[in-house]
Amino acid sequence: MRKPGWIVYGLLAAVVLGSMFPLWWSVVVASHDSTVLARDRFPVLPGGNFFRNAATVLDTVPFWRATLNSIIVSTTVSASVVFFSTLAGYAFAKLRFRGSGPLLVFVVATMAVPTQLGVVPLYQVMARLGWTGELTAVIVPGLVTAFGVFWMTQYLRQAVPAELIEAARVDGASMFRTFWHVGLPASRPAASMLFLFTFVATWTNFFWPFIVLGPSNPTLPIALQQLQAAHFVDYSLVLAGAVLGTIPLLVLFVVAGRQLVSGIMQGAVKQ
Amino acid sequence: MGAATTAPPATSAVPVPPTPHRGRRGRLARLDVTVSPYLYIAPFFVLFLVTGLFPLLYTGYVALHDWDQIMGRGEFVGLTNFVDILTGRGFWRALANTVSIFLLSSVPQIAAALLIAALLDRNLRARTFWRMGVLLPYVVAPVAVALIFNNLFADRFGLVNLLLETVGLEPVRWHSDRLASHIAIATMVNFRWTGYNALILLAAMQAIPKDLYEQAALDGANAWRSFWSVTVPMLRPTIIFVVITSTIGGLQIFDEPKMYDQYGRGGADQQWQTLTIYLYELGWTRADFGAASAVAVLLFLIIVTFGILNFLLTRRIAHDDGGRR
């Protein structure tokens, strides 16, 4: 293939700068005083006020609690999605049972159903269970997803040779032991992708947590919403909050972004 | 199935007749074999039933009642909720806003994603760097994106308006003008999703056989021509996929417009109130679960209609292009 010219690199650089600029800008604004911003209209470099702004953020909203909540929710949901999806994916890909074909079709079909629209009854269910305001109300509906089941089914079809399963069965291992020692280890690469995706999606989720969680027990996006409601015009504070709330996922992205990229590419080819 | 179907010589070399299980252990083992698969898939089905299907169906039931968030179910009112909503102004305004924001986000987004994918589909140096750079916005929560863009699009002292003034243009009233607010909100959506969609399209592009391009080049097609006549038609299924997912997401848009000012009601005159914000307001501000559910049912029907519609449309367009090849 022809070597790409400088135009290609130039355009790509513009796109990448475009994706970084809003983040950079929020760091710049978050590290200034609002009065400085009104005076000096185009600050390009960060100022020295970030930590003071951050401290105000921590005073205004239960930021640490929200961070901890977000970590708990995202980790639990992702771990659970990976486990249950692998279990179901293993059954669909490798075990023979009556009705497996139609059942898998059903799973895939549910992906087209916008479950968000059942919020009113779902909220009623949570209220009846006494879970409103509790993290369980956010965690439980996310425990396993159709996407996860489908993703693991596709992967495990190729990843586990049938003879390996047979060998384990011949050795007298129970079905679950076989899954644990053969299916689970083989699912590693796809499982880590699924974990990443679920983590990002859960971390950034706003609509359902906003409805079901109270202001005293928020996840990060809800805390940021509260911060804006309290300090709308003070952009330095609001954006300091946005920066603080984004850092954890940026760190994750720097560490695992490569995998996230190849995960998206892999998922697309399989559709 | 691939590997699973090829008979392995290794197993045939090991003569292990399965030990015949007898009695209770044997029955348990057989039970294990027949029941286990169902147990493994059960969590998904149980959860979907309880948190997906049941609420969705029950929404229809709630919509037919006078239903207060706190007082609970009142009397059966038939289609009154639907009539009220369809004859009111709020619903249609919210629908128009939603469709407007959706079109302003998905159309330019998919076009941009296609072009970015075409750029990435070259023999680039530092490939991973470019791909990661493009994907970066995807990890920023929509709520944080909204905060950042609120600042950029601020009516006074916002960077966008300052730049407009610098080049001698009038500042735009991003938070009061209806179309302007839609553009600002669509920008947030595009910021977060363009790179993600570009990578999905890129993956599909890389699966296109290279000899199609060689043939196009032999036929005298330039880069632009071969992009339209080879790449786009070959990407059809992926484009349909991207269009449909962005439709489902776009029609339910909530985060960005909700966060676009501090009140979260979609503007002083509901200039950017979307259907989901309208639903939220009916259900949780006015405590009218019946009306909120009716909106949910209508939104569901709209999503299904849009889904079918743009499936047919996308297929048609891609078909025509394929035919011209």
Q: A247 CB near a chain B CB, below 8 Å?
A: no
Tell if the CB–CB gap between A88 and B44 is shorter than 8 Å.
yes
Between strands B72-76 and B65-68, the pairing is antiparallel
* Residue A156 touches partner B, C-beta closer than 8 Å: no
Whether residue B131 lies within 8 A of chain A, CB to CB, comes out as yes
pLDDT at residue B90, as a whole number: 93
**CB count in 10 Å sphere of residue A96:** 8
In the beta sheet, which residues pair with residue B177?
none
Instruction: Kindly identify which residue of chain B lies nearest to residue A250, measuring between CA atoms.
Output: B139
For residues A181 and A178, give the distance between their C-alpha atoms in angstroms, rounded to a whole number: 5
8 A C-beta contact, residue B301 and residue B86:
no
Give the A:B interface size as CB pairs under 8 Å. Answer: 304
Q: How far is CA A70 from CA A63, A217, A218, A253, A257, in A?
A: 10, 10, 8, 16, 20
SS3 for A1?
coil
Q: For residue range B143-198, list pLDDT tens digits in order.
A: 999 999 998 998 887 889 989 988 989 999 999 999 999 999 999 999 999 999 99
B111 at interface of A, judged by CB pairs closer than 8 A: no
CA distance B183 to chain A (A): 16
pLDDT at A131 over 80: yes
Q: Does B1 touch chain A (CB under 8 A)?
A: yes
Give Cα separations from A194 to A183, A185, A199, B242 (angstroms).
Answer: 16, 15, 8, 19
Query: What integer pLDDT is reported at residue A170 of this predicted model?
Result: 85
pLDDT given for residue A161 in this prediction? 86
Q: What is the pLDDT of residue B5?
A: 37
Which of the residue ranges A257-261, B28-32, B135-139 would you say has the lowest mean pLDDT?
B28-32
**B213 versus B130: which is more confidently predicted?**
B130
Query: d(Cα B134, Cα B130) in Å, to the nearest integer?
Result: 6
Name the percent of chain A lying above pLDDT 70.
Answer: 95
B105 and B117 in contact (C-beta within 8 Å)?
Answer: no
The pLDDT score that the predictor gives to residue A124 is: 92
- Res. B230: pLDDT tops 50: yes
Query: Is the pLDDT confidence value at B324 over 60?
Result: no
Q: For residue A190, is pLDDT > 50?
A: yes
Q: What is residue B20's predicted lDDT score, i.e. its pLDDT?
A: 52
Domains and CATH numbers, chain A: 57-269 (1.10.3720.10)
**pLDDT band at residue B22 using 50, 70 and 90 as cut-offs:** low
Taking only the tens place, the pLDDT of each residue in B68-91 is 888 888 889 989 999 999 999 999
Read off the pLDDT band of B33 (50, 70, 90).
Answer: confident
Dump pLDDT digits (tens) for B260-292. 988 889 999 999 999 999 999 999 999 999 999
Residue A2 has pLDDT above 80, yes or no: no
Tokens of B165: 């003034």
Whether the CB of B132 is below 8 Å from some CB of chain A: the reply is yes
The distance of B282 to chain A (nearest Cα, Å) reads: 11
Q: What is the pLDDT of residue B12?
A: 35
Residue of A nearest to B293 (CA): A120
Q: Does B212 touch chain A (CB under 8 A)?
A: no
Residue in B45, B53, B123 closest to A3 by CB: B123
A residues 71-130 lying closer than 8 A (beta carbon) to B? 84-85, 87-88, 90-92, 94-97, 100, 103, 107, 110, 112-125
* Interface contact B207-A269, CB threshold 8 A: yes
Query: Tell me, what's the pLDDT at B298?
Result: 95
Chain B partners within 8 Å of A118 (Cβ)? 51-52, 54-56, 58-59, 296
**What percent of chain A is predicted at pLDDT more than 90?**
60
In the prediction, which pLDDT does B6 show?
36
Residues of B in contact with A9 (CB under 8 A): 124
Contact between A235 and B151 using a beta-carbon 8 Å cutoff? yes
Q: Do B62 and A232 touch (CB under 8 A)?
A: no
Average the pLDDT over each of A12-16, A219-223, B215-219 and give the range with the smallest value. B215-219
Average pLDDT, chain B: 86
Preferred mutation among B44, B67, B278 to probe A, highest tally of A CBs within 10 A: B44
Q: Is B296 in CB contact (< 8 Å) with chain A?
A: yes
Q: Report the distance separating Cα B286 and Cα A120, nearest Å.
A: 13
Written as six digits, the tokens of B29 are: 């083992």
The dihedral formed by the CA atoms of A264, B118, B325 and B245, expressed in degrees to the nearest 10: 40
Q: pLDDT tens digits for A236-266? A: 899 999 999 999 999 999 999 888 898 888 7
Query: How confident is the model at residue A265, as a pLDDT?
Result: 84
Cross-strand partners of B72: B68
Tokens of B279: 């639903």
Best B46, B62, B71, B151 member to test A by mutation, with max A CBs in 10 Å, is: B151
Q: What is the 3-state secondary structure (H, E, C) of chain B?
A: CHHHHCCCHHHHHCCCCCCCCCHHHHHHHHHHHHHHHHHHHHHHHHHHHHHHHHHHHHHHHHHCEEEECCCEEEEECCCHHHHHHHHCHHHHHHHHHHHHHHHHHHHHHHHHHHHHHHHHCCCCCCHHHHHHHHHHHHHCCHHHHHHHHHHHCCCCCCHHHHHHHHCCCCCCCCCCCHHHHHHHHHHHHHHHHHHHHHHHHHHHHHCCCHHHHHHHHHCCCCHHHHHHHHHHHHCHHHHHHHHHHHHHHHHCCCHHHHCCCCCCCCCCCCCCCCHHHHHHHHHHHCCEHHHHHHHHHHHHHHHHHHHHHHHHHHHHHHHHHHHHC
Q: Cα–chain-centroid distance for residue A46?
A: 29
Global pTM value: 0.89
Question: Per-residue pLDDT for B65 more than 80?
Answer: yes
Instruction: Establish if B207 touches chain A: CB-CB under 8 angstroms.
Output: yes
Q: Which residue of B has its CA nearest to A23?
A: B148
Whether A261 and chain B come into contact, CB under 8 Å, resolves to yes
Distance CA A160, CA A48 (A): 55
Domains and CATH numbers, chain B: 89-321 (1.10.3720.10)
**Residue B13 pLDDT > 50:** no
Shortest distance between the Cα of B40 and any Cα of chain A, in A, equals 5
What is the rounded distance in angstroms from the CA atom of residue B194 to the CA atom of residue B185? 14
Q: For A130-156, what is the mean pLDDT? A: 94
Characterize B123-148 residue by residue with b for buried, 16 or more Cβ atoms within 10 angstroms of its Cβ, and e for exposed: ebeeeeebbbbbbbbbbbbbbbbbbb
CB-CB neighbors (< 8 A) of B28 in chain A: none
Q: What is the mean pLDDT of residues B115-138?
A: 92
* Contact with chain B for residue A2, Cβ under 8 A: yes
Chain B interface test: which of A19, A131, A251 (most B C-beta within 10 Å): A19
Per-residue pLDDT, B320 = 56
Residues A250, B139: C-beta atoms closer than 8 Å: yes
Interface of A with B in 191-210 (CB under 8 A): 200, 203-204, 206-207, 210
Mutate to test the interface with B, among A261, A262, A269, A270 (most CBs of B within 10 A): A261
Q: Which residues contact B83 (CB under 8 A, 6 or more apart)?
A: none
